Structure 1
C-alpha cells in the first residue's frame, strides 16, 4: 500500500506548495488593501465599507475561477469561458427591461433581495432549459449547447440594444450604471447569501474533483472508465450556471468589466501554468486564489497608484488579448 500511495505524495506536496503561497499572498494583499490610507477619519465606517467590497471581490473571484475551470473541462477547450453562454447579456437585458417597464423611480424602488433571487432564478432557468434540452438528446451535443449559448447571447444583446434606443436618455443612464461592474456597490444584505451559494458550489466541485479528472479525458475515455458522462456534464454545467448567475446578480456582468472571457482565460491559464497538473483538486483552489489576488491587487493599484485614472477592465482586456495571442502562437488552443 505504501508503494501504491508513493506516486501521489509529490502531487499532494505540490498542491500544498502552490495553494499556501497564494493564500498567504491573498491574506497580505487583502490586509494592505483594507488598512491602506485610513487617515484620521471614521476608521470603523471605512473598514466596514471596504470589508463588504472585499467580500464581493472574493465571492466573484471564486465564482469566476472555479466556473471557468469547470466549463473548460466540460467543453474540452482551454480558450472557452462561461461568458460565451449569454448570462451577462441576459442580465443586461433584464435590467433594461425593468427600467423600461417600471421607470427609473420604480427600478430604484425594487427590494434588493427579491431582485437578486429573481435574477439568479431566471438565469438558472435559462441554463436548465438550455443544458437539459440539448444535452438530453445525447451526450455528444456539448458543442451544440455552446453554440446555442452564443446565439442566445447575441439575441439578448440585440434585444437590450433595441430597448436602450427606445427608453428615455435619463433611464438609459440608470441602465448603464446597473450593467457595469462596481464592487463598491456590493449590497451587504445580499453578500452572505451570495457567498454561501458560491461556497456550496465550490465545495460540490471539490467533491466532484476525482470524477472531473476522468471527465477531462473526453467522452469515450470517461465512459470506458465507467463514468456516468451525461449526468456529470449536466451537474457540472449546473454548478457553472449557479456560480455565474450569483456573481453576475451580485456585482453586475463581468463581461463589461474585463471582459470576463479574458479575465477567466487569464485566471485559468495561470492556474494551469502554476499547478502543472490536470487534477481538479489542485486546479480549482488555485484558480480561485489567483482570481482573488488579481482582483484585490488590481483594485489596490487602480485606486492608490493610478489614482482611479484608468479602468481596471482596460488593463485586463489588454493583458487578456496578449495572453490569447500567446496561446495561439504556442499552439495551446485546441
Structure 2
C-alpha cells in the first residue's frame, strides 16, 4: 500500500487516539495522561483509576460506537436513496426508536438493558415504514424534499406521543428525560457490552454493502445492468440502518444530525466511493461524538450539556446549507 493511501488512515487514527485521550482525561476531575495510561493498562484502586474504568471508559466506548453507527447509517441512507438529506433523525428512525424504548420502559416496565436494542430496532423500523408510506402516498419521486417533509411529520407525531407518555406518569419517566435529550451520562460497561455486538454487526454489514452502494449511485438502471440486485440491496441497507440506529439510541438516546453532518464531511475529503466513504464516516463519527461529549462535559463543568444539544447546534446549520446548495 502506498504512502498516499496510508496517510488518511494514519491521520484518522491519530485523531481518534487524540479524541479518546482527551475524553478520558478531561472533566470536572482532570486526570493526567500518565494516570490515564496507567489506569487503562494496569487498573488499580486509585481514585483516578476508578473514574477512568467506571465512568469515562464506558462513556467513551459508547460515544465511539454511537457516533460510528449513526454516521454509517446516514451514509447508507444517502447512498441507497441517492438523497443527500437522508439520515436517521430526519427520516423518523430516531423518533421511532426513542418512542419504543420510552413506551416499553415507562408503560410496560420492560427496562432490561438486553431488550433496549431490540425495542429500539422495532421502533426505528416502524418510523422508517411510516415515512416510506407517507412518501409513497405523496407521489414517491416528487423530489428529495418529499421524504424529508414526511420524516418531519412522522418525527413530530412520534415525539408528541413520547411527550404525552412523559406527562401521563412523570415519576416513571424522570430517568428517561436526560436520555431523550441525547446523552451518554450514566452509561456503564454492562450496557456497552450488550449493545456493542449490535453496533459491530451493523458496521460490518455497512462495509460489506459499500461496493454495491457505489454502483447504485450510478442509477438503478445502470446498477441492474452491472448485476446489482437493486431491491435486495435496498432491503439489506434498511436492515443495517435499523440495527445501527437502534444501537446508537440504546447507548445515547436520539442524537440529531450526526448521520447528516459526518458523511458529508467525509465526502468532502474522501470522495463518493463508498468503499472509502463508509470507513471514513465510521472513523469520523467516532471522533466527532467523542469530541462533542467531551465539550458537553467540560464546557460548564461540573454541570453538563447533553451531547444531543451540541450535535443539533452543529447539524442544523449544515442541514440549512445543504438545502440552499441543493435548492
Bucket of the pairwise TM-score, normalised by the shorter protein: 0.7 to 0.9
Tell me what 1:229 maps to.
Answer: 230
- CA 1:320–1:282: 2 relative to 1, 3 Å: same
The offset of 1:89, in angstroms, is 1.9
The offset of 1:164, in angstroms, is 3.4
CA–CA distance in 2 between the matches of 1:288 and 1:89? 22
SS class of match (2:89): helix
CA–CA distance in 2 between the matches of 1:131 and 1:232? 19
Tell me what 2:315 maps to.
Answer: 320
The offset of 1:55, in angstroms, is 0.6
CA–CA distance in 2 between the matches of 1:309 and 1:63? 27
Is 1:79 the equivalent of 2:85?
yes
Match of 2:285 among 286, 291, 300: 291
Tell me what 2:272 maps to.
Answer: 278
CA–CA distance in 2 between the matches of 1:133 and 1:301? 39
CA contact (8 A) 1:128 1:238 kept: no
CA–CA distance in 2 between the matches of 1:305 and 1:127? 34
The offset of 1:302, in angstroms, is 3.2
CA contact (8 A) 2:211 2:274 kept: yes
Tell me what 2:158 maps to.
Answer: 156
- CA 1:61–1:14: 2 relative to 1, 3 Å: farther
- CA 1:284–1:189: 2 relative to 1, 3 Å: same
* Runs of 5+ consecutive residues of structure 2 not aligned to the other structure: 36-45
- CA 1:178–1:76: 2 relative to 1, 3 Å: same
- CA 1:234–1:190: 2 relative to 1, 3 Å: same
CA–CA distance in 2 between the matches of 1:119 and 1:27? 32
Q: Structure 1 residues 208-217 or 149-158, which shifts more?
A: 149-158
* Runs of 5+ consecutive residues of structure 1 not aligned to the other structure: 1-8, 255-259
The offset of 1:125, in angstroms, is 5.3
RMSD: 3.3
Question: Normalization by structure 1: what TM-score?
Answer: 0.78
Cα distance per residue 1:15-61 (max 9 Å; x no partner): 53223201111112212322341279512211113111111001101
Cα distance per residue 1:134-174 (max 9 Å; x no partner): 99xxxx88988777655543432232233334x14434534
CA–CA distance in 1 between the matches of 2:179 and 2:309? 19
Tell me what 1:92 maps to.
Answer: 98
The offset of 1:64, in angstroms, is 1.0
